[in-house]
Structure 1
Amino acid sequence: MKTYDAVVIGAGPAGLGAAIEIAKAGGTTLLIDENERPGGQLFKQIHKFFGSKEHYAGTRGYEIGQMLLREAEEARVDIRLNTRVWGIFPDRTVVATDDNKSFSCRGRTIILATGASENALSFPGSTLPGVMTAGAAQTVANLYHVLPGKRILMVGSGNVGVIVAYQLLQAGARIEAVIDVTDQVTGYEVHARKIKRAGVPVLLRTTIKEAWGNKEVEGAILHRVDDRFKPIPGTEWRIQADTICLAVGLTPRLELAAISGCASAYNPILGGMLPIHTSTMQTLQEGIFVAGDLAGIEEASTALDEGRVAGLQAALDLGLGETDTLEDLLRQGQERLTSLRQGPFGEQRQLAKECIWQLAGQDSHKPASTIIKGGGKEREA
């Protein structure tokens, strides 16, 4: 059985970032992903990123993915695609299977970057053909160049909802409406303004009551809600649509972290249950790190920097590279993460992260109020 300095599971921006940093420090690195191509969500993102030069401002997501892939290949990262990890054992043995066979290997350290899954929404008619997650619609349109429908109803006004709505609009679909149960658009205004300028109705305090259609979606019944999110009688109306896209949040994919024995905590701002970790992405399980949406739902830029931070800390722990150089890069990575967690949206995530770090034993001036799970126990902290 082969032993690697690091086994990285998940080849999205977080996993690529971690694998690149360890490999550049001289470590043998295996990067595993269940999909047929690396890059995760980046290859579905055709919009230009904004922010700083360090966060690839002005570069489209799929272009960032291509750059990271080239960087990983140049660093001699061993990349295995179409490979699913199904077991991680206490000695950090990883068991995986591809299309042909199962194999096992060991990592001196393991970095979990398994991402997140999209949340579902249950309502009468939600199983009709034509009801799908926004991520599924984005995959169909941007990767396979197939329009999922001609008349789209988008449920949810977060970044995923408004970005995918605009991309479907660009692809030739008609966006009948973007609806949200809250009283404000929850995505960045820079994205929301694009669909508003295109004349797309954005209906707040509005949700879907049911989807209707014979053998597939033909439309939906919407209704207004009050300030306690209760339906307001008599406010129902019909809207025609052949596709209903659900953009109602993400949940960290916790399965591999759980079977690895990583203690977890609940934090609603970061998406629910997630592994407890330090600011350098170390879990409470020795030799296991987390990064990206698994460590809390944020953005692709944050996932990439978290991956780099995890990789740099792992390289230091393994005694790779030059300590002073790695520590300087680690500090820079943490500073970039702090800069991403500023402003009205970012500050909440920063405070939520500080709660998680406190649970991991790091000092924080913010009180932690959460549920911890791990080792068969559950307790309030």
Structure 2
Amino acid sequence: MKEVEILIIGGGPAGLSAAAAAAGLGANILLLERDDRLGGQLVKQTHKFFGSKKQYAGERGYQIGDLLIGQCSAQPKVEVWPETTVLGIYEDGVVTAEKDGQHLKIKPQKIIVATGASEKMIAFPNNDLPGIYGAGAVQTLMNVHGIVPGRRVLMVGAGNIGLIVSYQLLQAGVEVAAIIEAAPTIGGYLVHASKIRRAGVPILTSHTIQEAYGQESVEGARICRLDENWQAVAGSEQDLKVDVICLAVGLSPLTELCFQADCAMNYIPELSGHVPLRNDYLETTRAGLYVAGDVSGVEEASSAMVEGRLAGVSAAYSLGYGQDVAPRLQAEALAELSELRSGPAGQKTLQGLKKLMAKGEAVC
């Protein structure tokens, strides 16, 4: 049985930020990551970040990942176990994990869950054909392994991920036949959409995919326009010859461990799914268990990093570390989150958090 002060589950932007912040105050950290490398989604993000200098605006995602990994590596109190999958969080506080074929037990005093999110899929005929990918998988293929997924792509979804991955496909020499979006408006930043349109790629709002077709892999897709009631408009069908269909239709928080740990949970659409109730300092209804990043509600990586820092400081502070500086650091992180969510893009998150707060009051 390994004992540790703070166990962090997930080595993406939230987990790395939490580890650096908590260790910086003096706590001993064990960071578990199921992949063979740290960084989470950052390792495949080649675009530059927005925000402020505090969230590394102007840096590319993989560069920010390297920065965060470097901050953790510089902390002697951070121990990292890569290729380790957490299996459960139990009533007695024991956490079990699998590493190198071994079943391990860990007894932490505090836990920070930073497991991120998974890609959503949508149902349509033949959606199991080879050649249909989630946008994250396409990013991994291209930006991590240097492999293009195909020659001609239909992108489904005009949020930031769909727009950014479409541009990265173009940069890799892949033709993007079109981007379709079921909603009547583009969901991502217009600066990304403008680059796509300047490259000659049509962005078709109020459109959906009806079916994919092909013998052994994708050979094409049929799309159509939607009316104001989200019904297919007769006669609007188009046939696109593509060998890849890329789905960028959102993310779902990876909250299985929170459910298993018996955290109070609620379904909040604005936060992209079931999320745990928590207080301002990200502690859930299970005492000593904190959440940070997309597992607490899907946002940008900038917010995940700040939430990670807040959770790390809060967990360390609860163990008696940083008594003179932790309250100030918590206040600074809360102010940064408020600033990040102050624009139009943050309104959806704020609505979700307001709903979650009301649910929390009902539980109390």
For residues 36-51 of structure 1, what are the structure 2 equivalents within 5 Å?
36-51=36-51
Helix, strand or coil for the counterpart of 1:222?
strand
1:277-320 CA deviation, whole Å, 9 max, x = no partner? 11211101101000100100101000010010011111111101
C-alpha separation between the residues in 1 aligned to 2:191 and 2:98?
42
Secondary structure of the residue aligned to 2:18 is helix
Q: Are the counterparts in 1 of residues 210 and 222 from structure 2 also a CA contact under 8 Å?
A: yes
| 1:12-161 alignment, distance < 5 Å | 12-76=12-76, 77-161=78-162
Counterparts of 1:268-307 in structure 2, within 5 Å, are 268-307=269-308
Give the TM-score of the pair, scaled to structure 2: 0.97
Question: Structure 1 regions of 5+ residues with no counterpart?
Answer: 362-367, 373-380
Percent identity over paired residues:
45
Give the letter for the 2:18 counterpart: A
In 2, Cα distance between equivalents of 1:50 and 1:249? 20
Question: TM-score normalised to the size of structure 1?
Answer: 0.93
Structure 2 gap ranges (5+):
none
- The alignment of Structure 1 onto Structure 2 pairs a total of residues equal to 363
Letter in 2 for 1:96: A
Q: How far apart, in 1, do the equivalents of 2:19 and 2:61 lie?
A: 19
Distance 1:114 1:57 in 2: 24
Matched, 1:310 2:306: no
SS of 2:22's equivalent in the other structure is helix
1:179-218 CA distance string (max 9 Å, x none): 0011110011121111111111000111100111121111
Tell me which stretches of 4 or more aligned residues in structure 1 moved more than 6 Å.
Answer: none
- Which residue number corresponds to residue 249 of structure 1? 250
CA displacement 1:62-105 (0-9 Å, x = unmatched): 01000100110111211111110001112321110112311111
The C-alpha deviation readout for 1:10-38, integer Å capped at 9, x for no partner, is: 11101111111111111110000111111
CA distance in 2, matches of 1:276, 1:28: 26
SS of residue matched to 1:324: coil
AA at the equivalent of 2:262: G
CA deviations 1:218-240 (Å, max 9, x no partner) are 11011111111111122111011
Q: Which amino acid aligns with 1:333?
A: A
Aligned equivalents of 1:179 and 1:327: distance in 2? 46
Report the equivalent of 1:342. 342
Q: Residue 289 of structure 1 contacts residue 310 of structure 1 at CA under 8 Å; is this kept in 2?
A: yes
Paired residue secondary structure (1:139): helix
Cα separation, 1, equivalents of 2:238 and 2:201: 18
Aligned amino acid, residue 22 of structure 2: I
Alpha-carbon separation, structure 2, partners of 1:51 and 1:253: 25
User: What residue is the counterpart of 1:377 in the other structure?
Assistant: none
